[in-house]
Amino acid sequence: MQDLTIALTKGRLADKTMELLTRAGYSCDEMKESSRKLIFRNEEKKVNFFLSKGPDVPTYVEYGAADIGVVGSDIIMEENRRAYEVLDLGFGKCRMCVCGPKEAGELLQHHEMIRVASKYPNIAREYFYNRKHQTVDIIKLNGSVELGPIVKLADVIVDIVETGGTLRENGLEVLETVCDLSARMIVNQVSMQMKTERIRELITAVRAELEKEGKLK
Ligand code: PRP
C-alpha cells in the first residue's frame, strides 16, 4: 500500500479535521499525545499527518511534500497554488469582509482612492481592482488588522469575520462581504494520478461522513 501524507492547518482547524478524519477511519492516536511534535503516523493505514501554518499548506501540497492538505478557502485564494480542490468540509465557516468605521462606507460608495490594510493583499487587490474597479492602496499586515483603521493607518480592512466580536469590541463594522469561507480539502495534482485509489478511498470515506452530518454541498 502506498503511503499518504496529509498536511493539516495547525490549531482549531487541525482539531476539527482530525475529528472528521477519525470518523472516516483515518485516526491518529500519536497526535493526541504530544503538543510540540509536528509529524505523526498511522502505521496501519500508512498515513502520515503533519501540522503547518495555514499559508504553507498549499505550498506543501503543490510541491508534493503532502498529497492532501486541509486549509481555509481564504488561504487557497490568497496563495493561488496549483492543487485540486476536492471537498468543502463545511467547518471553519466565516466570511471575508471589507470592514471599517461606519463613516468609511461612504468612501466605498464613491470609489475614492482609499487605503486598505489586510493580511490578504491578493484577495484585497482582486476584490477592489477586478470586482469593484476601484483603485486602492493596499497595505500588508500580519495580524490584529483591526488596528489599521483605529490608528489611521488605513481607511478599511479586508479580513475574516467569524463571530463579529473583534469588530464590535473595536468599534468597527462589516461594510461589504467579499465571499464566504470554509475549510477545504486540496490534493496534489500528480498524487491524484499516481495514488488515485488511495485518495479516492479517503475522499469517499470523508464524503460519507459529511453526508451523515448533512454538510455535503
Ligand atoms: C481572526 C481575524 C479577525 C478575527 C475574527 O484573527 O483576522 O481578527 O479572527 O474573528 P471574530 O469575528 O470571531 O472576532 P486571528 O484570531 O486569527 O488573529 P490575528 O488578528 O492575529 O490574525
Inform me whether the pLDDT recorded for 110 exceeds 90. Answer: no
Q: What pLDDT is attached to residue 214?
A: 84
Pocket-forming residues, ligand 1, beta carbon under 6 Å? 143-146, 159-166
Q: What is the 168 CA–ligand 1 centroid distance (Å)?
A: 12
Q: What pLDDT is attached to residue 216?
A: 76
- Mean pLDDT, all residues of the chain: 96
Residue type, 109: Q
Q: What are the tens digits of pLDDT across the range 72-93?
A: 999 999 999 999 999 999 999 9
Cα 124–Cα 128–Cα 133 angle in degrees, nearest 5? 160
217 falls within a domain: no
Q: What are the tens digits of pLDDT across the range 43-53?
A: 999 999 999 99
Cα–Cα distance between 188 and 12 in angstroms, integer?
23
Q: What are the tens digits of pLDDT across the range 159-206?
A: 999 999 999 999 999 999 999 999 999 999 999 999 999 999 999 999
Residues 124 and 78 in one domain: no
Residues 144 and 188 in one domain: no
Q: What is the 181 CA–ligand 1 centroid distance (Å)?
A: 14
Residue nearest ligand 1's atom 2 by CA: 160
Ranking 61-70, 104-113, 126-135 by mean pLDDT, the lowest is 104-113
How far CA 37 is from CA of 49, 84, 153, 196, 201, in Å, comes to 11, 28, 38, 29, 27
Inform me whether the pLDDT recorded for 217 exceeds 80. Answer: no
Q: What pLDDT is attached to residue 50?
A: 97
> What single DSSP character describes residue 172?
-
Exposed/middle/buried for residue 156 (C-beta within 10 Å: 0-12, 13-18, 19+): buried
Q: What is the 160 CA–ligand 1 centroid distance (Å)?
A: 6
Residues 72 and 99 in one domain: no
Cα–Cα distance between 72 and 95 in angstroms, integer?
11
pTM over 0.85: yes
Range of the structural domain that residue 64 is part of:
4-92+182-212
Asked if 115 and 137 count as a contact pair (C-beta separation under 8 A), the reply is: yes
Question: At 145, which CATH number?
Answer: 3.40.190.10
Closest C-alpha to 12, from 148, 135, 183? 183
